[in-house]
Structure 1
Amino acid sequence: STFLKAIFQEPRPFLTIPGLQRVGPIPGGSSFPSSHTAAAFALFWGTLFAKNRWWPLVLLYAVGISLSRLYLGVHYPTDLLGGIVLSLLCCWIVTRLWNRAIRHRKESI
């Protein structure tokens, strides 16, 4: 997400929307994508892909983290969507590589 933030350099909502009140400290960096959302949803995707029975609880956690970023006035809804998609893509790639490595290891034994 840090790489994408440097590319897009989207200003935070509290800087561009008149009257929007920010809650909490001033965050650094740009707005798109939401790193908090990406991290929370990466945990969710990993839990889901691993078929862990706790995935619904982790989904609630990830949604809560994401919505808190809107409430705090530090992200747009598109920033959250960007974080979700980024985390899905990263977890999908890691899962494919992991499964390939496991298959290769089993074949070499």
Structure 2
Amino acid sequence: MKNMVLYAGIAGIAALLVNFLITLVYYEPRPFATYHTSILIPHAADDSFPSDHATGTFAMAFALWVRNRKLGSAMILCAVLTGISRVWVGHHYPGDIAASIIVALFTVWAIQKIKGLFDPAFSMLIGWYHDIWAKITKKGYK
């Protein structure tokens, strides 16, 4: 389970890095900035494409789905709701969300291709976690 969470975190971070690289070469104003409409929740008038919120949640959800279909499916539903909410409040276009899904899928696919590089580091981190937790619980801290 801990390994699965680490992969989901790496997927989310990597996908957001891809988003950052995209924003360096392509700019799309947010819908409320283009159409000068009132929005439900205030937001900076920065780049809209792709949605960071949707990209992060879809990347983590897909990474979880690869390792646990039941949990991953529930998280994909949460990611879909996140994407819908971003359009609903006027922060993104539907195409921004679609691009986020593509970025997330690509990122998780790429991580799956090189997952052997992460396994030793994740095993070490999990080992450290268990060692620290064992020391804390031996001293009576709970």
Q: Please, what TM-score do these two structures have when normalized by structure 2? A: 0.64
Aligned CA distance change for structure 1 residues 73 and 80 (closer, same or farther; 3 Å): same
Residues 66 and 80 in structure 1, CA contact (< 8 A), matched pair in contact too: yes
1:13–1:28 Cα change, 3 Å = closer
The residue aligned with 1:11 is: 29
Q: CA deviation at 1:101?
A: 7.0
Answer yes or no: is 1:27 the counterpart of 2:41: no
TM-score (norm 1): 0.82
Residues 27 and 74, structure 1, Cα contact 8 Å, conserved in 2 = no
- 1:11-42 deviations in whole A, cap 9, x for unaligned? 00011125x33121223530101111100100
The aligned counterpart of 2:57 is: 40
Question: Which aligned segments of 4 or more residues in structure 1 are displaced greater than 6 angstroms?
Answer: none
Cα distance, 1:94 vs. partner? Answer: 0.3
Number of aligned positions between the proteins: 101
Give the aligned partner of residue 105 of structure 1: none
AA aligned to 1:12 is R
Look up the match of 1:106.
Answer: none
Identity among equivalent positions (%) equals 27
**Which structure has the greater CA radius of gyration?**
2
Letter in structure 2 aligned against 1:7: V
C-alpha change, 1:53 and 1:77, in structure 2 (3 Å) is same
Ranked by relative contact order (alpha carbons within 8 Å, sequence separation 6 or more), the top structure is 1
Rounded Cα–Cα distance in structure 1 between residues aligned with 2:45 and 2:29: 10
- 1:11 and 1:80 map into 2 onto residues whose CA distance is 14
Higher helix share: 2
Q: Please tell me the residue identity of whatever aligns with 2:112.
A: T
RMSD of aligned Cα (Å): 1.8
Per-residue displacement from partner, 1:34-88 (whole Å, max 9, x unpaired)?
A: 1111001001110111134212210111011101100110100110011110011
| Contiguous gaps of at least 5 residues in structure 1 | 103-109
Distance 2:30 2:66 in 1: 32
